[in-house]
Structure 1
Amino acid sequence: FSQQQVAQPLSQNQASTLSPEQRAALEQLLVGWEARNAKVTTWSCTFYKWEYNAWSPADASGERLAFSESTGEIKYAAPDKGLFRVKSSKQWNPEKRTYDTRPSNSGEHWVCNGTSIYEFRHSERQLRETKLPPEMRGRAISEGPLPFVFGAKADTLKKRYSMRIITPPSVTDQIWLEALPKFQVDAANFSKVELILRATDLMPFAIQVFKPGGQDRDVYQFDPRTSLIDRGLDLIRDFSKPLTPLGYTFIEEQAPGS
């Protein structure tokens, strides 16, 4: 996660003017979402991820396809424990014009136990532990680059993002939300996020993250069939310090600014 820093607002990302009705609807959604998140003590779910970039192939009609596709697991325990792990993935091979299966131990994988973040850097064959400073403990998950999954407070979201509801009129079982970063610390990670919540329980269904400075984007979808709320997690096993794989180097470091 990027260390939250004091930052100047981005003048180019001023919120679009919302009508009083739109502002009231957004406020009602954020308050309801926060109340729902406050009731969730643990959550786990299978996710699917599609990455689109300049190397993405196109189908016969010219529609851009994903450069890579992944499947993985996400786990959360309030207020500050999380796990994100890609378990299988495939990547487009432009020479062979097909998707190649990637090694199972090459995908993104991190664990946060509330006091440290453990990140596997497979290309460098490293397991890195970043110790969080005291002021970040208890909120590193909700104030990371993607707080939308891990239940940030309504006030925090409004301070960090220009937000509006963008649900298409034909959609009745979902709520679509757009968020633009107000500060450089967030804009370094994404230029825009589109979030889809399930209307029935306000749990995340999908997130589309647009990368800074271009058309590259990542799409995440959370499989509701695998969603487990307040059950099925082992807080010790799921969020403990990972074992260093054979051939990897363990590196310990302090978070920036700590």
Structure 2
Amino acid sequence: MRLHRGHLFLLSIVCGALTFASPANAQQQAVAGAKPQAAAQPFPALTPAQQAELDRVLASWQQKSQSTKTLECKFERWHFDLLAAPAGVHAHKAEGVVKYANPDKGLFRVDSIMYYKGMKNGAPQFGPTANKYGEYWICNGVELIEYDREQKKCNVQSLPPNMQGTNIFNSPLPFVFNLDAQQIKERYWVRLEQAPKPNTYLVQAWPKRQEDRAQYKMVQVVLSSGFEPEVMIMYAPNFHEKLAPQWDHYEFSEVKRNAIGAGISQFLGHFIPQQPPADWKIDRQNFLPPQIAQGNPAQQQQQPAPRN
């Protein structure tokens, strides 16, 4: 499976802190009122009061995020696609792990996927598919490495010096490490919406840059009162309510932040392998910016109807 850099947005959420949320309720509540749109600012200009509250939330979220030195957790991801599974049923569910070390090292690995296999006695059935693996990528600070387990191939992209270290924000890992509120506002249209429950914040972000829009159309995050992400929903770059209704819902568990114990070198050794298996093919190249998503441009500008 090819690397989907939209999932790197996920790590920017993860590195702040994480809690558990119900997939059914979160998906139904957080998407209410969503109108993803990419060509222009998709909502009216914020009032001074709205902008001040957004600034306060982003600053607090940044403070929480930048306190993270190392992080590891497990995740579950439900992928919804109304063209692949009935409404209310996920097309597949993935389980995996995320790890991170400040400022520029990270891992995203899917360990198992269960696919929708049809209905039986009124209930959806799920099971594995032979030779189908999820994403597995690593950033070691100077390279972006993708492990293609289906083809037994390792794709290595070298990052130029200006994309390494603390500048990783401007690399293929968009604000993954050390959330920066000012850069987010420069790179995304951001607003707060009515939260799904008391004492939470619903943040909506639309990418301004075309290379980001090629990875995702809009993201919604529900933050707790302590500015810890509880829910994240990511819409596909060509999301359309009827023609291409696809989105991902994430949950996290067993979160460990700044628990490096024996030291950072041992922590890194647990998830950054020295080399791929001996029988794998290795392809090396310089970093290539994400390609613009294929599809009908007019279709990509369609706004979905609000979900209830």
TM-score, length-scaled by structure 1: 0.83
Could you tell me which runs of 5 or more consecutive residues in structure 2 were left unpaired when the two chains were aligned. Answer: 7-37, 240-244, 290-308
Residue 250 of structure 2 aligns to which amino acid in structure 1?
Answer: Y
Name the residue aligned to 1:76: 100
| Structure 2 partner of 1:67 | 91
Contact 1:163 1:179 in 2 (8 A): yes
Match of 2:306 in 1: none
Q: How does 1:20-35 map to 2 (within 5 A)?
A: 20-35=48-63
Shift of 1:105: 7.4
Distance 1:218 1:29, change over 3 A: same
Map 1:1-258 to 2 at 5 A.
1=5, 11-58=39-86, 63-94=87-118, 98-102=125-129, 106-139=133-166, 141-143=168-170, 147=174, 150-168=177-195, 170-172=197-199, 174-200=200-226, 202-214=227-239, 215-223=245-253, 226-232=254-260, 234-241=266-273, 243-245=275-277, 247-256=279-288
Cα deviation, 1:56-80, whole Å, max 9, x if unaligned, reads 322xxxx421100011111111111
Provide the rounded CA distance (Å) in 1 between the counterparts of 2:182 and 2:131.
Answer: 39
Q: Secondary structure at the match of 1:36?
A: helix
Instruction: Report the 3-state secondary structure (helix = DSSP H, G, I; strand = E; otherwise coil) of the residue aligned with 1:179.
Output: strand
SS of aligned partner of 2:56: helix
Shift of 1:241: 3.7
CA distance in 1, matches of 2:47, 2:107: 39
- Normalising to structure 2: TM-score of the pair? 0.70
Judged with a 3 Å threshold, the aligned counterparts in structure 2 of structure 1 residues 203 and 219 are, in CA distance, closer, same or farther, namely same
Q: Which moved more, 1:16-25 or 1:235-244?
A: 235-244
Q: Identity rate of aligned residues, in percent? A: 27
Instruction: Go from structure 1 to structure 2 and tell me whether the alpha carbon gap of 1:143 and 1:152 turns closer, same or farther (over 3 Å shift).
Output: farther
Q: C-alpha separation between the residues in 1 aligned to 2:251 and 2:209?
A: 26
Once the 2 structures are TM-superposed, how far is the Cα of residue 156 of structure 1 from its aligned partner?
A: 0.9
Where does the alignment leave 5 or more consecutive residues of structure 1 unmatched?
A: 3-9
Tell me the number of residue pairs that the alignment of Structure 1 and Structure 2 aligns.
242
RMSD: 2.6
Q: 1:220 to 1:179 in 2, by over 3 A?
A: same
> Aligned partner of 1:86: which letter?
V
Q: CA deviation at 1:112?
A: 0.7
Per-residue deviation, residues 181-223 of structure 1 (Å, max 9, x unmatched): 11111111111100122322x2332211101222211111122
CA contact (8 A) 1:49 1:221 kept: yes
Letter in 2 for 1:221: E
Cα displacement (A) at 1:83: 0.6
Q: Is the 8 Å Cα contact of residues 101 and 268 (structure 2) preserved in structure 1?
A: no
Contact 2:164/2:171 (<8 A) preserved: no
- Structure 2 CA distance for aligned equivalents of residues 67 and 146 of structure 1: 26
SS of equivalent to 1:186: helix
Aligned to 1:7: none
Superposition deviation, residue 95 in structure 1: 8.6
**What amino acid is the match of 1:156?**
Q
Higher relative contact order (CA 8 A, sep 6+): 2
